Amino acid sequence: MSEDSGNEAATGEQPVFALERVYVRDISFEAPNAPEVFTWQGQPQVNVELGTEGRWVTDDGHAESVLTVTVRSTLEEATVFIAEVQQAGLFRVSGFSQEQVEQIMGVNCPTILFPYAREAIANLVGRGGFQQLLLDPVNFQAIFEQSREQAEEGAPH
């Protein structure tokens, strides 16, 4: 059994998926219309955008996954606040096929990171002087499958 085969799934090695560290890669909050925004009347609209990315950090199975959550709150055309967090994790991933790794990086890692990002957004918005914002749970499996379907539809046949 070669330690260097490149296809660890074929070597009989036990698959490993472990979270080694959770950290904030980047975080920001803006309330460009404060303090006037606190006197405005009306119900602001809230838009949440999610993004994920992953990359190999080392050749021995360390991968970084970054979940970006951006929340924009507007009232009519004016910005109430913008909160963004890049919540990241260092994971140990080895012994899986390429397809399994894509699933792990696209579903499992963001699912683990989301509660941390949710808490960071809630804290940012609250510290900004606004009512705490609790983001709804996210089904990363559905998002992953949808992005795969879109990629397959866009691929040349």
Number of domains observed in the structure of the chain: 1
Q: Could you tell me if residue 152 is inside a domain? A: no
pTM score, two decimals? 0.87
Give the domain CATH number at 18: 3.10.420.10
Q: Could you tell me if residue 110 is inside a domain? A: yes
The one-digit pLDDT tens for each residue of the chain (157 residues) are: 333 434 444 556 799 999 999 999 999 999 999 999 999 999 999 999 999 999 999 999 999 999 999 999 999 999 999 999 999 999 999 999 999 999 999 999 999 999 999 999 999 999 999 998 999 999 999 999 998 888 888 766 5
The pLDDT of residue 155 is 67
Within 10 angstroms of residue 87's Cβ, the number of other Cβ atoms is 26
Half-sphere exposure of 21 (CA within 13 A, CB side): 7
Q: Could you tell me if residue 102 is inside a domain? A: yes
Q: Could you tell me if residue 35 is inside a domain? A: yes
Q: Could you tell me if residue 156 is inside a domain? A: no
Q: Could you tell me if residue 3 is inside a domain? A: no
Q: Could you tell me if residue 90 is inside a domain? A: yes
Range of the domain at 64: 8-147
Q: Could you tell me if residue 123 is inside a domain? A: yes
